[in-house]
Amino acid sequence: MNKKTIWITGGSTGIGKALAIKFANKGWNVAISARRKELLENISNSYENIFSFPLDVTKKTQCVEVFEKIKKELKNIDICFFSTGTWNPKKEKEIDVEQIEDVFKVNFFGTLNSIKTVEQYFKDKKHGTISIVSSIAGYRGLPNSTGYGPSKSALNNLAESLYFDFKRSNVRVCLVSPGFIKTPMTDKNDFKMPFLKTSEYAAEKIYDGLVNKNDFEIHFPKSLTLILKLLNFLPSKVYFNLVGKMTKYQKK
């Protein structure tokens, strides 16, 4: 019997790395991709069932080439976990068009390139899971988030749209919305992050959601995400006032 296989992009650090180790420890074959080859190899050299496939998801042809290599070496792919992302808080405090374009190129279009690469494979197979990593920042607009939040909001909408398209082929599309998780990316933040959790905590929640449950969205920690979901129902005037006070936003 062949081992089950998961392909993880953004697998060199943070949530992607922790999830790769979690699945490997559960006996899965794990294909990890990211731009930094040396980090991928450090992980794969430590686990006999984690395999390195360097990739820049912003390059469409490279996505196709890497996926072909994964299929050739690991055969059957059961889950794709697309978690490539970028964030630069210092450049989010004003409208930096070039920066926003770069964020969308990685966060949104990089994820879209990855999904497009596996689309026909899963539709032909008529089974499997495509998981898209978004963020609580994609729920509603937040201060100092001119690129990251909008890119994640776009992923939320994309995931809902693709849910219908892939369901016809019996393929699950799953949205993952983490709260604040301690990773090299969130280490850049210069504000206190409520309910901050470890990447290992995130990996536990994601593994459980992907393997043991069948919900559309995996969101955590619930103590934070449920509050934010309730905020979605507030009228804009109330929402702006409340979030403004919470983030100490001042009019100029």
Residues belonging to the active site: 148
- Which residue shows structure tokens 């539709």? 123
Structure tokens at 204: 């536990």
Choose among 190, 186, 114: nearest CA to 155: 114
SS3 sequence, 28-78?
CEEEEECCCHHHHHHHHCCCCCEEECCCCCCCHHHHHHHHHHHHHHHCCCC
Phi-psi region of 230 (alpha: psi -120 to 50; beta: other; left: phi over 0): alpha
Check if the beta carbon of residue 62 is closer than 8 Å to that of residue 42: no
Strand 217-220 relative to strand 172-178: parallel, antiparallel, unpaired? parallel
